[in-house]
Each structure stands twice: as structure tokens, then as C-alpha cells.
């Protein structure tokens, strides 16, 4: 496969890049690139990975090296406080219990693997509750799963009830944040799904916060991109289109729900279980943002990339299905939805409200948004860890997150204004606090380019001042 060159070609108004090395696969020439319909290069090429030596060979990288930043085993080994109440389970070592989970997961110590097998049969797609965040200050946790399969007959699973009870053994109660409306949860029972009833889970309080996904979210993005490409002089018309897209409403709902989960853990002192239907989209969105709000280590560049790897790549977000095309494609894929892009937008909102709290810059978020649709690396290929192993992705490609942490790359994505804080960062979701992510959606406008130039100038000045300060300190007697 042709090694992708650094030079990039872009659509006149699209928000995603198309690299020269990718044009051959799309049957396009640079001169005709403005008229072609952008389709994700990643999704087109992933099935042929098994016959390709590699997508890209970064200097200093070896295919024999460990693929990825860490594993569940390594994460668990670093959490000494967990050992008394939590354990590492390899019940999914061959992916037969849950195809979308990694081989190892962290579960309550009181629940053995035999019980986990029964719980997996009671949860959609086998996604039983697993630990995704441990809050050290008070010992509370955030877990995630898929919906219980209670059905119209209100089935029960004793092992599932015991698992959730083991989570809050030392607490009075816990919260279940369901990312569906109460009506949607009720309707799910008619098709075999459902929710945790108060009679069977008496110590858990269920909170419904509807987050859109699928077709609704995809159509919202399409309308937003159309609005951003409108060159009419009417400000009212542009603002009307922006409002009608409802994209900022989705950002608001996601941040508000994540803030609720974080508040349950930090301020109320109770553990949280997050789930929707399948547990691969809005569930990951809420759990990731809640952790970012609470966990200072996840706000560093390495910590944030590790969070994405653990909560999105390893946790089974179906990137190939969700990022099949961009908003400029005429194709309408039923399973396509920009959930990951919504996450990045929410992270940008946090960084915009707390410019000193994030160790990474906006440039990193834009790079991730681009690579999710068209990448030189294998990180966003396939729909699960099982698929990546079956197709040999880890043997034939390199990991984007590792590449971003090399010295040459990381310098481009660090926030020079970063000042670490141990405090939680509570986002404001008031309308005046949420803004359009101009750096991504209006990235080709002249105004945005001037802002980028100004930001780069500020970055250079800050680095220069810090360098001068270090030299001065070394010269002082």
C-alpha cells in the first residue's frame, strides 16, 4: 500500500482532510477533489488490512512493539486501592462472552466468573457491568454496561442483582443513569430489553437522561455542516440554520448528563452505573466525560489518550460503522452516527471553559476528529478489539496514540498554558457558555485562520518566556 505523504488536499468546505496518498483509493485526482463526495478512507480499507503490510511506517516504530498505550492488566496493577474490593477477570479471554469487550475486565471481587457468565446473558450483547473509573478521594466508582434483558415478562437475574449490590456494599445507595428517556426504556421492554426495576434493585435509584444517537445525531451533524458552508450574507439565516441543526443541544445534553454522573460520585458520594441500550455509544460518551471532569490525570496529554484507548477503542465503540462517511456524503448509513465527534466537541467545550486545566491543545482534538474518518494508523479500524485481532490490525499497523506521544508529535499538541489542578472542573451548560467549535467546523474560514495564527504566536511567546525562566534559574547562584 502506498505510504501516505504529508501533503494534504481538502474539499472546499468540508471539515475532514483527505491526504494525497488516499486519493488513489478513492479514484480521484487532485484536480477533481472539490467535486467528489467524501467517503471515509478508513472504512473502505479496513477489510483489506490482512493483505497489506502496513498503512504507515513512522520512523522509530517497530511492528514488534506493544500496540497501544496500556492494557487492562496494566491499569489494574496501578490501582492498589482496588485490590480489596475489585479483581481482574479473564472470563472474556477468547471474546466468547462479550465480543465487544477486551479479554480482561475489572469486576467486584465478590462476583466469580461463573456468575459473570449468567450476568452476561442477562445484558444486551453480553456487556455486563464493568469498572471504568475509580474515584480515589472517596472510593466511589463509575461502571458501564448495556441494558438488562428484562423483557415484557420482567425477567430477573439474581447474579446481576448481586453484582450491583456488591458495588455499593459500603454505601447506602447507587445511581443508574440511563441515557434513554423513561418512555424509550419502557418501549425497549416490548422488544426484549428493559431497565432495572425498583423492586429488584432497591438500593439503586434510576435517572433517565435522553441522549440522541444514530440517525438523529447524524442528521444534526449534516445540518450543522450545511449551515457552516452557507456563504449568504444574512446573519439571521445562518443563526437559524445553526439552531435548527440542534448540534449544540446535543452538546448541552451530553455535558449535563456527564456532570450529573460526576456530581453523584464527587458531591453525593455514591457510585454510578451508566447504560443506554447497547452500551457502545452514549454510555461511553457519559462515562468518559464524567471521568474527565473528576480525574486530573485524564486531563494530561498521555492520560487523555489513554482514556480514549480504554473507553472507546478497547471498550468496543464501533468506529467502522459509526464513522463510515462524513457529513458531506450523500449516503445514509443506518448505523452511522458522529458520537465520537460529539465527545471531542464536548471536550473542546471543557477546554474552552477551563483553558488552564487541559494539558493538550485544540489541535489534538482536531487531529483526532480527522483521523477517526481518514487515518494513516490502525487505531480507529474495525468495530471491536476482537475484529482487530482477527484481521491482524495490531500486527500490520501502528497505533495513533503512541505516535502522538513521540517527542516530535507531542510538542505540537501540548497546551503551553497548562496548570495542573486536583479539583474537579464543573462545566457550565448555560446557552451562553456553549459555543460552536469554530476551530473544526469553520476551520477553513479566514477568521479562524487568523485565530490560529494568533494562538500559535501566543504559544511561541509562552514557550519562549518559560525557556528564559529556566535559563535564568540555572544561572542564579
- Cell 542564579: give the residue: 476
What's the pLDDT score for residue 49?
52
Cα dihedral sign for 191, 192, 197, 203? negative
Query: 66 falls in which pLDDT band (50, 70, 90)?
Result: confident
With bands split at pLDDT 50, 70 and 90, how would you rate the model's confidence at 7? very low
* pLDDT single digits (tens) 403-444: 999 998 999 999 999 999 999 999 999 999 999 999 999 887
In angstroms, rounded to a whole number, what is the distance separating the alpha carbons of residues 372 and 317?
Answer: 12
Q: Quick one: which of 266, 262, 258 has its CA closest to 137?
A: 266
First to last CA, the chain: 58
Grid coordinates 481482574 are at which residue?
88
Average pLDDT, integer, range 300-309: 98
CA distance 133 to 111: 18
Q: How many CA atoms lie within 13 A of 203 on its CB side?
A: 18
Give the other-Cβ count within 10 Å of 374's Cβ: 24
Q: How many CB atoms lie within 10 A of CB 226?
A: 15
pLDDT at 60: 61
* pTM of the entire predicted model: 0.86
What is the Cα–Cα distance from 54 to 295, expressed in whole angstroms? 35
CB 295 within 8 A of CB 266: no
Higher pLDDT, 6 or 171: 171
More confident site: 14 or 172 = 172
Q: Does residue 5 register a pLDDT over 50? A: no
Residue 11 and residue 328 in contact, taking contact as beta carbons nearer than 8 Å: yes
Compute the distance between CA of residue 314 and CA of residue 103 in angstroms, rounded to an integer: 9
**Helix/strand/coil for 9:** strand
Report d(CA 279, CA 118) in Å as an integer.
Answer: 18
Q: Which positions ≥6 away from 352 have C-beta within 8 Å? A: 435
Residue listed under C-alpha cell 485565530:
451
- Kindly indicate the confidence band of residue 146, based on its pLDDT and cuts at 50, 70 and 90: very high
Residues 6+ apart with CB under 8 A from 350: 255, 289, 292, 293, 357, 358, 425, 427
% of the chain surpassing 90 pLDDT? 69
> Residue 328 is placed in which grid cell?
458531506
pLDDT tens, 174-221? 999 999 999 999 999 999 999 999 999 999 999 999 999 888 999 999
Amino acid at each position: 500500500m502506498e505510504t501516505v505523504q504529508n501533503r494534504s488536499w481538502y474539499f472546499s468546505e468540508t471539515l475532514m482532510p483527505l491526504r494525497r496518498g488516499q486519493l488513489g483509493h478513492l479514484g480521484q485526482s487532485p484536480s477533481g477533489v472539490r467535486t467528489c463526495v467524501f467517503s471515509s478512507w478508513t472504512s473502505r480499507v479496513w477489510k483489506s488490512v490482512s493483505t497489506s503490510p502496513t498503512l504507515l511506517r513512522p520512523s522509530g516504530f517497530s511492528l514488534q512493539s506493544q500496540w497501544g498505550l496500556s492494557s487492562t492488566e496494566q491499569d489494574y496493577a496501578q490501582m492498589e486501592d482496588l485490590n480489596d474490593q475489585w479483581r481482574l477477570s479473564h472470563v472474556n479471554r477468547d471474546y466468547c462472552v462479550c465480543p465487544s469487550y477486551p479479554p480482561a475486565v475489572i469486576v467486584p471481587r465478590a462476583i466469580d466468573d461463573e456468575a459473570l457468565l449468567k450476568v452476561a446473558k442477562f445484558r444486551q450483547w453480553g456487556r455486563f457491568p464493568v469498572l471504568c473509573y475509580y474515584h480515589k478521594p472517596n472510593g466511589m466508582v463509575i461502571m458501564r454496561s448495556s441494558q438488562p434483558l428484562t423483557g415484557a415478562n420482567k425477567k430477573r437475574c439474581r447474579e446481576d442483582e448481586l453484582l450491583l449490590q456488591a458495588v455499593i456494599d459500603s454505601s447506602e445507595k447507587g445511581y443508574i443513569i440511563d441515557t434513554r428517556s423513561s418512555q424509550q426504556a419502557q418501549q425497549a421492554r416490548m422488544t426484549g430489553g428493559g431497565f432495572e426495576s425498583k423492586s429488584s434493585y432497591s438500593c439503586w435509584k434510576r435517572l433517565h437522561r435522553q441522549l440522541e444517537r444514530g440517525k438523529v445525531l447524524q442528521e444534526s451533524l449534516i445540518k450543522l455542516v450545511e449551515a457552516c458552508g452557507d456563504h449568504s450574507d444574512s446573519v439571521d439565516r445562518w443563526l437559524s440554520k445553526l439552531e435548527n441543526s440542534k448540534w449544540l443541544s446535543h452538546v448541552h445534553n451530553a455535558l449535563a448528563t456527564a456532570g450529573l454522573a460526576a456530581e453523584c460520585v464527587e458531591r453525593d458520594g455514591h457510585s454510578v452505573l451508566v447504560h443506554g441500550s447497547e452500551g457502545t455509544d452514549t454510555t461511553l460518551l457519559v462515562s468518559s466525560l464524567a471521568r474527565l471532569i473528576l480525574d486530573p490525570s485524564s486531563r494530561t496529554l498521555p492520560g487523555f489518550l489513554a482514556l480514549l484507548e480504554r473507553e472507546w477503542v478497547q471498550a468496543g465503540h464501533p468506529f467502522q460503522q459509526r464513522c463510515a462517511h462524513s457529513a458531506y456524503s450523500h449516503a445514509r448509513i443506518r448505523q452511522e452516527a458522529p458520537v465520537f465527534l460529539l465527545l471531542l466537541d464536548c471536550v473542546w467545550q471543557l477546554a474552552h471553559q477551563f483553558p488552564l486545566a487541559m494539558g493538550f491543545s485544540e489541535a489534538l482534538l482536531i487531529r483526532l476528529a480527522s483521523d477517526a474518518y481518514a487515518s494513516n494508523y490502525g487505531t480507529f479500524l474495525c468495530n471491536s478489539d476482537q475484529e482487530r485481532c482477527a484481521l491482524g490490525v495490531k500486527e500490520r499497523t501502528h497505533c495513533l496514540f503512541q505516535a502522538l506521544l513521540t517527542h516530535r508529535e507531542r510538542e505540537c499538541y501540548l497546551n503551553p498554558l497548562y496548570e495542573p489542578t486536583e479539583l474537579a472542573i464543573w462545566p457550565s451548560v448555560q446557552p451562553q457558555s456553549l459555543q460552536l467549535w469554530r476551530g473544526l467546523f469553520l476551520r477553513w474560514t479566514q477568521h479562524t485562520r487568523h485565530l490560529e495564527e494568533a494562538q500559535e504566536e501566543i504559544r511561541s511567546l509562552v514557550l519562549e518566556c518559560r525557556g528564559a525562566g529556566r535559563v535564568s534559574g540555572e544561572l542564579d547562584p
